[in-house]
Chain A
C-alpha cells in the first residue's frame, strides 16, 4: 500500500525503512538536504544493521519537501515529526505537530492518520474531539538511538492506542514491518498508549538513576560499588541489565517522558516521578563533590561530545573555580591533554586512558 510518513527523524526513518520493504513509502519534511540524501539512497540513520538490511532488502522509499504531493495518494499517514520542548519550562510544544496533523486530516479524508510522536497524555483524545475525526489514532513508538532500525524490525510488541477495528487494521500494517510476523498487537485506549510510552521511558530512567545513586553512596562511603551491584543484581527480580553507573541518563527521550508524567500528576502527591526528574542534577552534584575532593586545578573532560551529563558536570566544576579542558578525539593532542590535567573525567573506561592510573575519574565498573 502507499504510506506517507511526515517527519525525517529517528522514528520516521526507521518506520520508512522497515515498511519500505513491503510498501511504497513517501517521507516528507522541511529539510532539503535530508530529502536529497534519502533520494540518493543515503538514509540519515545511525544503526549498525542499516547497511546489511539494505543489501538484503530493496526498499521503496522516496522523499519530498512537498507535503501536498506526498499526501495526495496516501492510503495511510504516519505522523512522526519531532516535538519541540521549551528549554526553560520543559513544556512540550505540540502546536506545529497539531497543524501538520490537521493539514493531513483535511488533505486525506477517510485515510487513517497515525500519531507516532511522543505526545502528552490525552493529546490524541483531545485532537480527535476537536477535529471530530474517526480516522486519527495514536501508536506511540519507542526506539533507541543507534538501534532504531533494529527496534523497528524486531519489536517486543506493538502498542496501538485504539481498541476498535481501525486499530486492528493499522496494527496489521505496522506489524508487517517486523521481521517477526507473529509480533503481539496490544490495542489499548489512546491516552493509555501515550501513558505507556512515557512510563516505559521513566522506568528505564529510574533504573539508571537508582544505580547511579547506589554508586554515589559507595563513592562517599568508600565502598566497592562493583561488589554491591553484583550482589544486588544476583536477585533475579532485579537482574543485571542496565546496572553500570554513569554520569546521568542521556538523550532527551527519558527526561522528556519523565517530565510529561510529572506534569500529568501535578494534582496528586507523587514522588518517584519528580525524583527521577531531579536525579541527573543530583548525580551531577555528587560527582562534582567527589572530583573536587581531589582539589584539581585543571580537569580534563574526555570526549564530552554533546553529552548533557558531561556538560553539567563541567559547568559545576567551572563554577567551583576549576579550569576545564576538553578533548574531542584529535589523536595528536591526547598525550598533551593527559599531561595538562590533574584529573581526567571519562564516562567509560577505555584502553587509551588506562595509563592515567589515579588521575582518571570514571565510574564505569563493568568495563570489558
Chain B
C-alpha cells in the first residue's frame, strides 16, 4: 500500500518507519533538515530504534518537502503534525492538521486520513461535520518519549476511533506492522477514542501523584518512605510500577493531558481531576521547601531531562523547583551534557561533572545514577528504587 506520513516528529517518524517495513511510505515535513536526515538514513530525533532502522537501509521510505509527491497517489495519509495546547487559555492550535487535510483533499480527495496528533476531545466529529468530509479517522498514539518506535513495534494496544470495516482495516494495518504477536485492538467512536488517551494518561498522572503524596506524608511524619511504598506495592492489586517518588510527573503528555482533561470537565462535578493537577504543583513546593531547609548556598541541578534517553528539557518537573529556589534567593547551576548552550532560561549550564560538583554544595536529582555515587552525601533526591 502507498502511505503518506505528514510530520517527522516522534509520532510521525516512528509510524513512517513502522509502516515502511512492509509498505511504500513517503514522509513529508516542512523542515528541510529533517527531510535530509531521513533521506540520508539518520534519525532527526533521539530514539535508538529509529536510528537503527533508518541506518539499516531496509525501509521503503522517502522523505520530501513536496505535498504532491507525498499525497497524490497515497491510499492512506497518517497525520502526525504538531498541535499545541495552551494550558492557560485552554486553546488548542490544530491548524497544522487542518492545513494537511486541505492539501490532501485538493490533491487526492479519495485518500483516507488517520489523525495521530494529539487533539481536543470532540475534534474529529466536529471537523468532519464542518468540512463535510467523511475520510477522517482518529487513532490515539500511546508511545513514550525516547521509545517511540519501540512502542509502535510492541504496542500496548491499538485503538481506532471508528466502528466500521474501514476502522478495522486501519487497526489491522497497525497490528500487522507490529512485532508483538498478540496485540489487543479496540474500535470505538471518534470522541471516545479521543477521551481514552486523556483518561489513560491522567490515570498514570494520578498514580504518580498518589505515590508522591505518600512520599510527602512520609517526609512530613518522619516515616521510612521506602518501607511504606515497597510494602504497599507488594499488594498485587497495586503493583510496583509507576510507584517511585519523583519531583512530579513531566514530559510532553501527562501535564498537558491532565490539564486539558480538567478543562474539558468544565461544569461536571469532579474532585480527583483537579487534585491531580494541584498535587503536581504542590509536590514541587514541598520539595523546594525541603531543599531550602538545608540552607544551601548554591544548588546544583543534575540533569534537566526526566528520564535516561530523553531529550525533552522543557517539560521537566525540576524546572519549577529551580524557579522556586531562585525566588527564595538561592542560586542554581545546571549540569546537562545534552544541552548545547551556555545558559538555559538565564541559568548557567555546565557540561563537565567535576566543574559542576565544585560549583555547588547541594545537588538535586530526580533520579539517582551511578554518576552521582561518589557525591551521594550531598545529593537530594526522592528516588527510592533507582529506576524510572
Give the B-binding residues of A (Cβ under 8 A): 121-122, 156-157, 159, 184, 186, 188-189, 191-193, 195-196, 199-200, 202-204, 206, 209-210, 213-214, 216-218, 220-221, 223-224, 227-228, 230-232, 234-238, 241-242, 261, 264-265, 267-276, 278-279, 282-283, 285-286, 289
Known contacts A195-B217, A270-B217; 15 additional CB pairs below 8 A are: A188-B228, A216-B268, A218-B195, A223-B191, A224-B189, A230-B188, A231-B200, A235-B156, A237-B156, A237-B204, A241-B237, A268-B286, A270-B213, A275-B274, A276-B272
Report which of B140, B195, B282 forms a contact with A223, defined as CB distance below 8 A: B195
| Binary contact readout B199-218 vs A (1 if CB under 8 angstroms, 0 otherwise) | 11001101101100110111
Q: Would B272 and A195 count as touching, CB distance under 8 A? A: no
Q: Which of B172-211 contact A (CB under 8 A)?
A: 184, 186, 188-189, 191-193, 195-196, 199-200, 203-204, 206-207, 209-210
Q: Would B220 and A267 count as touching, CB distance under 8 A? A: yes
Q: Would A186 and B191 count as touching, CB distance under 8 A? A: no
B194 to A: closest C-beta gap in Å = 9
* Known contacts A196-B231, A274-B275; A189/B186 CB under 8 A: no
Chain B residues, Cβ within 8 Å of A271: 209, 213, 274-276, 278-279, 282
Task: Give the complex CA separation of A217 and B268 in angstroms.
Answer: 6
Q: Would B232 and A289 count as touching, CB distance under 8 A? A: no
Report which of B186, B213, B236, B271 forms a contact with A278, defined as CB distance below 8 A: B271
Chain A residues, Cβ within 8 Å of B186: 227, 230-231, 234
Offer 5 A-B interface pairs, CB within 8 angstroms, sorted by A: A195-B218, A217-B195, A217-B264, A234-B186, A275-B275
A82 to B: closest C-beta gap in Å = 23
Q: Would A272 and B272 count as touching, CB distance under 8 A? A: yes
Q: Which of B250-305 contact A (CB under 8 A)?
A: 264-265, 267-276, 278-279, 282, 285-286
Is the contact region of chain B dominated by helix, strand, or loop, or is it mixed?
helix
Chain B residues, Cβ within 8 Å of A236: 156
* Known contacts A195-B217, A234-B186, A270-B217; A228/B196 CB under 8 A: yes
Q: Would A272 and B275 count as touching, CB distance under 8 A? A: yes
* Known contacts A189-B223, A275-B275; A231/B159 CB under 8 A: yes
Chain A residues, Cβ within 8 Å of B237: 204, 241-242
Query: Across the two chains, which residue of chain A brings its CB closest to B225?
Result: A192
Task: Give the complex CA separation of A199 and B207 in angstroms.
Answer: 12
Q: Would A285 and B213 count as touching, CB distance under 8 A? A: no
Give the A-binding residues of B (Cβ under 8 A): 121-122, 140, 142, 156-157, 159, 184, 186, 188-189, 191-193, 195-196, 199-200, 203-204, 206-207, 209-210, 213-214, 216-221, 223-224, 227-228, 231-232, 234-238, 241-242, 264-265, 267-276, 278-279, 282, 285-286
Task: Give the complex CA separation of A242 and B235 in angstroms.
Answer: 15
Chain B residues, Cβ within 8 Å of A279: 271-272
A282 to B: closest C-beta gap in Å = 4
Task: Give the complex CA separation of A270 and B210 in angstroms.
Answer: 9
Task: Give the complex CA separation of A202 and B228 in angstroms.
Answer: 13
Q: Would B214 and A214 count as touching, CB distance under 8 A? A: no
Task: Give the complex CA separation of A186 and B234 in angstroms.
Answer: 9
Q: Would A234 and B210 count as touching, CB distance under 8 A? A: no
Q: Would A210 and B272 count as touching, CB distance under 8 A? A: yes
Chain B residues, Cβ within 8 Å of A230: 186, 188
Q: Would A264 and B270 count as touching, CB distance under 8 A? A: no
Q: Would B227 and A188 count as touching, CB distance under 8 A? A: yes
Query: Across the two chains, which residue of chain A brings its CB closest to B280?
Result: A271
Q: Would A282 and B223 count as touching, CB distance under 8 A? A: no
Report which of B184, B218, B242, B274 forms a contact with A234, defined as CB distance below 8 A: B184
Report which of A192, A206, A237, A289 forms a contact with B272, defined as CB distance below 8 A: A206
